[in-house]
Structure 1
Amino acid sequence: MDHEIAWTHGTAGEPSAGPEDVLRLLRDAVRPEPGGRVEILVAECETCGPGEEFEVAKGECFCVGCCIPLGITDGYAHPAADYPWRLEASEVPLPPASPGPGFEPPDLPRCPAGHDVFHVAVALAFAADGALRGVSVGLRCPEDGALCLYVDNARVVPCAA
């Protein structure tokens, strides 16, 4: 099964429009396992700061200001993680990743209006014992408010550094 992005209409132009929409998308989509919890945060670049927008490619989100990735695919997205990780698809396939340098997947995400820069929110699902179990990523187009669930509850698997 291919990774397909399903876009919904956001609320561009309304007072509530903004990253709050993508947070709401993740709150509605991600549920903790029994005894667990979910943390949902608007993505911020450690170098450029809050309010930065991201380009999305090869299963990762890159800051428009400095091109540094968020670390969704390798575990550096969460400062408390004491190990790198890799993601495994749950019931929904993962976004396409690069098979090598210079490869550009033909299906880079674009909103229905064709924009390719997004606000990003990340949901981290923790088990009752505090271990990170899953990652979800939502995208919101700041131009037209379109929303999508880019990574849907991918399983987090610890791996060696």
Structure 2
Amino acid sequence: MHADDQVDEGVSPELAWFLRTAEDHRPVRIVPAVCDRCGGRVFCVLVDDVEGAAERVCAGCGDRAFVADSEEIWEDADPGEAGCPCGSEEFETAVAFSLADDGSVRWVTVGLRCRQDGAAGVYADWKIDYGPTDHLFGMV
């Protein structure tokens, strides 16, 4: 891990480690997904790994939320439901924000950890080429 990495409370060590090793050598901030409606932490996730977009659906209450700036391109996206090789479609979800020297977000990486077998993977990532970017940290 980079000396300047930040892992917010609620991200499992396994998913944090996986996301950190998937990133470049820039510092990252890793933020867990938490349902705004019920506080749930298990999600089904729709991803478009070509366009770089994701939407999460709470397994507890069904509340939906876009990840980071995904809503802006969702109309052009062709999402599919994320699935683990074990067959499960429910995940712990976290986002790694790769940070530039000035602290702005340069990359968004969506990591999922299967609730059934613990397998972790990167399901979507995309470049951020605008600023300011602080609002993205609250959109996980």
Please state which band the TM-score falls in when normalised by the shorter chain: 0.5 to 0.7
Specify which structure has the higher proportion of helix.
Answer: 2
CA contact under 8 A between 1:122 and 1:137: conserved in structure 2? Answer: yes
> Which residue does 1:155 correspond to in 2?
127
User: Residue by residue, what CA displacement relative to the aligned partner does 1:60-92 show, whole Å, maximum 9, x if unpaired?
Assistant: 2222233334432526xxxxxxxxx857xxxxx
CA contact under 8 A between 1:139 and 1:150: conserved in structure 2? Answer: yes
User: Residue by residue, what CA displacement relative to the aligned partner does 1:69-116 show, whole Å, maximum 9, x if unpaired?
Assistant: 4432526xxxxxxxxx857xxxxxxxxx6658xxx85x5221111111
> Which residue does 1:112 correspond to in 2?
85
> Which residue does 1:136 correspond to in 2?
109
- Where do 5+ consecutive residues of structure 1 fail to align? 1-17, 76-84, 88-96
Cα–Cα, structure 1 residues 25 and 66, in superposed 2: closer, same or farther, change >3 Å?
same
Specify which structure has the higher proportion of strand.
Answer: 2
TM-score, normalized by length of structure 1? 0.58
* Relative contact order, higher structure (CA 8 A, sep 6+): 1
Question: Which letter maps to 1:67?
Answer: G
- Where do 5+ consecutive residues of structure 2 fail to align? 1-10, 48-53, 132-140
Task: Indicate whether 1:28 and 2:21 are aligned.
Answer: yes
User: Residue by residue, what CA displacement relative to the aligned partner does 1:30-89 show, whole Å, maximum 9, x if unpaired?
Assistant: 1344xxx3101222222222x5201111432222233334432526xxxxxxxxx857xx
Query: Hey, which bits of structure 1, 4+ residues long, moved more than 4 A?
Result: 97-100
> Which residue does 2:30 correspond to in 1?
40
Aligned residues: 115
- Partner Cα separation in structure 2 for residue 28 and residue 133 of structure 1: 17
Identity percentage over the alignment?
A: 35
